Structure 1
Amino acid sequence: MIPAEDLQCLKVLAVRGGCRGPIFVSTQSIGEMLGISQQTASRRLKSLESAGLITRNLAADGQHVTVTKAGEEVLIREYQEYCRIFSEGGENHYLLSGSVVSGIGEGKYYMSLGPYKEQFTAALGFEPYPGTLNIRLVPSSLAIRKKIDALDWTRIKGFSTDGRTFGDARCIPCRIGTIKCGIVVPGRTHYPDDLLEVIAPVALRRRLGVEDNDSINVEVGP
């Protein structure tokens, strides 16, 4: 468990942009933001570095600091706790975090098939854009994913056409920001636990302005 005072320092670094790359800070600037002395600010930075939550490159008049993936996960868990506190759904509200990855283009094909499109529209309340946004979950979201798997999903029935059989799938409503979306899981076995396929009425990459490796959050709940 990260000490509360270190967590506060980590938040300040993240707010300054430390999750996106190195930021230049001094112990004086950190101290002023946190209302502590330079010496105390220095100790907190050293503590975060020792815990592997930040990396530092020292300079004569300060340092370049980057929040590591481990540091991001600490902040994500903190965010998830606040979401549970303030969401109307309480324990029925779930937040999944991950990064955008490229798929192999199958989503566009399957989302263009009439029988699938009709069922997804009925289940989710929107006609899906022909394509999916693929998200690789961070390790801390895997336990949350298992809880979501236990919720009530809508079955999407398979069908046959032109001598080819298409299997079942399942879906559940979700949101990315204010965009109404749906998580889709194909019926095939051994589907990766850390991969999400998300559909929406719009092209999510274009609407959100995201590229591979960009961080993204998906909310499931009331």
Structure 2
Amino acid sequence: MRPDLKPNLWFTLYTLLRIGAGARAVKISTTQLAEVLGISQQSASRHLRSLEDLSMIERKIEKDGTLIHITEKGMEALHAVYHHLRRHLEEAAKEAFVFEGTVFSGLWEGAYYISQEGYRSQIREKLGFEPYPGTLNIRLRTKRDLERREQLERMPGIEIKGFRTEDRSFGGAKCYPAMINDEVEGAVIIAERSGYDRSVMEIIAPVNLRKRLGLKDGDLVRISLSNSR
């Protein structure tokens, strides 16, 4: 954030942008602006004077209000704030989708499902790897991870469509590319139909993760989503 643009001033500048003052001069009274900002009319007047002194707005006072236009310098200040916010939000989003859990032996259904060509062909096409026929099962340990898990379910993900064979139908799933223990690329897979509750995450990868990472039941695993979208 620019050192000469205090938070209250950039928020006022942002509010002016919202009402159209970035594209053209807009007419607004200090009373109206104060109502939008939730501050006193005197404070709104001070904000406008300060922004004008900083050459971030131009204004022309008329009888029925003030014509205000954000200058090029003002737009540059808003862009600077936007880029700072975007960077910090992206960093926070990355941290929001890091999970830790313990390995456990599951229902042994992963090998059956991941061996189905209807799933394998889509994983090859959409995730770019040939999946090992099985899943690594991770049980989340903390309330925060469980909340993240619920949040993840609301994210779009990479769709794996359901299909039907001669014998039965298979449900769809969503995949989220991930790094496992910061070493192996794979994906979290969330099935539409699952025998597990939300404390469990299933991981697919092009290798046997237990062997590759030397994992056994009870070991702690870190899952970092590389594209939470």
Task: Give the structure-1-normalised TM-score.
Answer: 0.57
* d(CA) in 1 for partners of 2:137, 2:194: 18
Q: Decide whether aligned partners of structure 1 residues 147 and 221 sit closer, same or farther in structure 2, where only a CA change above 3 A counts.
A: farther
Bigger Rg over Cα: 2
- Tell whether the 8 Å contact from 1:92 to 1:221 is kept in structure 2 after alignment: no
* d(CA) in 2 for partners of 1:216, 1:87: 26
Which residue does 1:101 correspond to in 2? 104
Report the alpha carbon displacement of residue 161 of structure 1 after superposing the two structures with TM.
1.1
- Tell whether the 8 Å contact from 1:95 to 1:218 is kept in structure 2 after alignment: yes
Report the alpha carbon displacement of residue 151 of structure 1 after superposing the two structures with TM.
2.1
Deviating runs (4+, > 3 A) in structure 1?
Answer: 86-89
Q: 2:224 aligns with which of 210, 219, 222?
A: 219
Q: Decide whether aligned partners of structure 1 residues 190 and 131 sit closer, same or farther in structure 2, where only a CA change above 3 A counts.
A: closer
Is 1:92 aligned to residue 97 of structure 2?
no
Report the alpha carbon displacement of residue 143 of structure 1 after superposing the two structures with TM.
1.6
Q: Secondary structure at the match of 2:206?
A: coil
Q: Decide whether aligned partners of structure 1 residues 108 and 214 sit closer, same or farther in structure 2, where only a CA change above 3 A counts.
A: same
After TM superposition, the structure 1 = structure 2 runs for residues 34-183 of structure 1, keeping only pairs within 5 Å, are 89-93=90-94, 94-139=97-142, 140-176=144-180, 177-183=182-188
- Tell whether the 8 Å contact from 1:98 to 1:215 is kept in structure 2 after alignment: yes
* d(CA) in 1 for partners of 2:221, 2:158: 24
* d(CA) in 2 for partners of 1:203, 1:143: 28
* d(CA) in 2 for partners of 1:174, 1:88: 19
Report the alpha carbon displacement of residue 221 of structure 1 after superposing the two structures with TM.
3.2
- Structure 2: where are the runs of 5+ without partners? 1-86
* d(CA) in 2 for partners of 1:183, 1:167: 16
Kindly, what percent of the aligned residue pairs are identical?
39
- Tell whether the 8 Å contact from 1:89 to 1:221 is kept in structure 2 after alignment: no
Q: Which amino acid in structure 1 is aligned with residue 104 of structure 2?
A: V
Q: Which amino acid in structure 2 is aligned with residue 128 of structure 1?
A: P
- Tell whether the 8 Å contact from 1:124 to 1:172 is kept in structure 2 after alignment: no
* d(CA) in 2 for partners of 1:134, 1:120: 18
Question: What is the aligned length?
Answer: 137
Report the alpha carbon displacement of residue 137 of structure 1 after superposing the two structures with TM.
0.3
Q: Decide whether aligned partners of structure 1 residues 158 and 211 sit closer, same or farther in structure 2, where only a CA change above 3 A counts.
A: same
* d(CA) in 1 for partners of 2:110, 2:102: 18
After TM superposition, the structure 1 = structure 2 runs for residues 182-201 of structure 1, keeping only pairs within 5 Å, are 182-188=187-193, 191-201=196-206
Which residue does 1:204 correspond to in 2? 209
